[in-house]
Amino acid sequence: IQELKEKYEALKDVPHTNHFIGHLQTNKVKAVIKKAALIHSVDSLRLAEAIEHEAAKLDIVVEGLLEVNVANEESKFGFSVSELLEQIAAFEKFKHLKIRGLMTVAPYVSDPKCNESVFKKLKDLSVDINARKFDNIVMNLLSMGMSNDYEIAISQGATFVRVGTAIFGVRGRK
């Protein structure tokens, strides 16, 4: 969030679009929703409710991707596949949060081909959800793949890849 604030200020006179990628705590929603065109990491119904609440106060619509922990890694955030399928209908009620697709962070592996099944599962999940024709939920965006496996993610339907390390190198945490 601090990095988003810094870059938002530095680029305020330059036409651009910001996306928020990374874990978002409910108490930080207010700091993000006016600065990010798309939140890639809506990882719980509780967070979605916080986004809806803050966006309603501002009378804006925020777009988001539901984060799915496809590989069921304990160190990662997001819905499990089964949890999302159980809760997906709850996202229909929101008037100020529009769900545009899904996001996942695949495990870091030495052979990127190992993540092909993770990306395929997310793509299949998006197709399944889209076929159910929920109000306020479309599955036209898939954020998956990073610097080490983006080519595999693209082959499985990624519309966004996160390649910061390939562009900027390894960065430390602030």
Q: How far apart are CA 52 and CA 134, in angstroms?
A: 17
- Whether 173 shows a pLDDT value over 60: the answer reads no
- Whether 4 shows a pLDDT value over 80: the answer reads no
Token look-up 């990491």 returns 41
CA distances, 80 to each of 83, 148, 159 (Å): 5, 23, 21
pLDDT of residue 8: 76
The helix (run of H) or strand (run of E) holding residue 163 is none
Hey, what amino acid is at 173? R
Please state the rounded mean pLDDT for residues 148-159: 96
- Whether 167 shows a pLDDT value over 80: the answer reads no
Q: What is the pTM assigned to this prediction?
A: 0.90
pLDDT of residue 172: 66
CA distances, 75 to each of 1, 103, 110, 125, 169 (Å): 20, 16, 18, 22, 23
Query: Confidence class of residue 33 from pLDDT cuts 50, 70 and 90?
Result: very high
| Nearest residue to 70 (alpha-carbon basis) of 28, 2, 118, 10 | 118
Q: For 46-81, write each residue's pLDDT tens digit.
A: 999 999 999 999 999 999 999 999 999 999 999 999
Q: How far apart are CA 20 and CA 69, in angstroms?
A: 18
Q: Which two tokens stand for residue 150?
A: 């983006």
Query: Confidence class of residue 161 from pLDDT cuts 50, 70 and 90?
Result: very high
The helix (run of H) or strand (run of E) holding residue 119 is helix 116-131
> Exposed, middle or buried by CB within 10 Å (0-12, 13-18, 19+), for 29?
buried
| Higher local confidence (pLDDT), 18 or 123 | 123
pLDDT of residue 12: 80
Q: For 81-120, write each residue's pLDDT tens digit.
A: 999 999 999 999 999 999 999 999 999 899 999 999 999 9
Q: How far apart are CA 114 and CA 106, in angstroms?
A: 10
